[in-house]
Every structure is written in structure tokens, then in C-alpha cells.
Amino acid sequence: MTTPSIAPAGAATLALFDLDHTLLAGDSDYLWGEFLADSGLVDRTRHAAANERFYADYVAGTLDIQAYGRFVLEPLTPLDPARLDALRREFIATRIRPIVAPGAPALLTKHRDAGHTLVITTSTNRFITEPIVALLGVGTLIATEPEIVDGRLTGRLAGIPNFQAGKITRLEHWLAVQPQRFSTICAYSDSHNDLPLLERADLPTAVDPDDRLRAIATQRHWPIISLRD
């Protein structure tokens, strides 16, 4: 393992962090599916089988993000906002707090203390990830957006999913409306699905990477770190 290349303090630096398997030592989307099954909101056998298939597609880089979005969100559509909020609070307390990567808070603090702008960018939808980002103390989230009509989830996604090349499209949209122009971009991710994001960065770092990303990072001499040690 090496150390990440962090831009100096005072620089106009944007620090981008993937969430699942990067700042978290697990996958919040996948765990949400298990949580729904444990809560009796979905059929455990059918849901678990589909969850496994979608996760395998994600690992392979072939995930249909629209289909997966419907799979995650449709079971929530009959529930009123108060019930959803209670479920989400329980999920964060029981499934997410225990899997925050041990080194994640220190890395975030290091960038924060250097005066950098911190953004978490994740393919997981905002309903699941917004309280996770708050837990980590990061003020800005770019996530896949669930469609909401009259205050309720419709079971569909809205806009461009924040996944693979979509992360770049969404990032550029975000950058275009910022009052500050960043001279340096740092990016952290575990997944080959985030190769476009890492290539967009001036200082990319592979974090506990999958095999494909590890090979690419090694070939390109990118830092490789672990936040789980």
C-alpha cells in the first residue's frame, strides 16, 4: 500500500470520494436489500436471489442501473414518508455505522483540515445515501436520484444515474454551477466502474480496489491504499 497524493493546504482542491467499499467497508445498496428482507417488506428468497444477480452484474461492470433502481425503490412506494424515515434511521444505526471503514474519518479530516472541498459521489440512490453522508460529516452529495412525485417515491429514477460515465456528466453539471473553480481534483474509489472518475482526477487513488482496478492502478502508478487496516 502507498499513501495518497493529497494537494497542499490552501489549494483550490476538490476531493471526490466514492462511498460503497471505499469509505464504507461494504455496500449500502446491497445491505439495504438485506435490511428490507429482515424487516419483512420483501420476499426474502426472491429478493435475495435478484440482489445477488444485480451485485454480480455490478462487479462485472454490466449493471443495468435503471433496472436496479426500480428493484431497490419499488418496494418502498407503498410506504408513507414517516415509515420510510423510521426504516432509514434503523438501517443507518444497525447496518451502516458498523461498516464505516476505520481509516475513512481520518482521510476525510485530512482533506477538510487542508481546506479542500469534500464531495461524496455514489451510484447508490440519495434516499439511502443522504443520511450516510451526514454521518460521515460531508456536506455535499452527488447521487443517483429517485423520482419523487407529491412527496412520495415512484419507484423510478430521475435524471442521469450517477454511475460509470454518468458520474462525470453529473460532476460536470455540479462544477458548472459552483462559484469556485478548482485547480486540483483528487478522487478515491475501489471500483473499476469508477475508472472514468479516477481518470478525470489530477490525483486518483485506488482504495481497497477490486482486481481490475488494482491492475490498472499498478500499471499507471496510482497510489493504492486501504482504509480498513
As annotated, the active-site residues are 18, 20
* Structural contact between residues 145 and 183, judged by C-beta atoms closer than 8 angstroms: no
CA dist 104 → 21, 80, 155, 183 (Å): 11, 33, 31, 24
For the chain, helix, strand, coil in percent to 5 are 50, 20, 30
> According to the 3-state scheme, what is the secondary structure of 137-153?
CCCEEEEEEEEEECCEE
Among 144, 132, 143, 140, CA closest to 104: 132
Cα distance between residue 196 and residue 135, in whole Å: 27
User: How many Å is the Cα radius of gyration of the chain?
Assistant: 17
Cα distance between residue 71 and residue 96, in whole Å: 20
- Cell 428482507 belongs to residue: 37
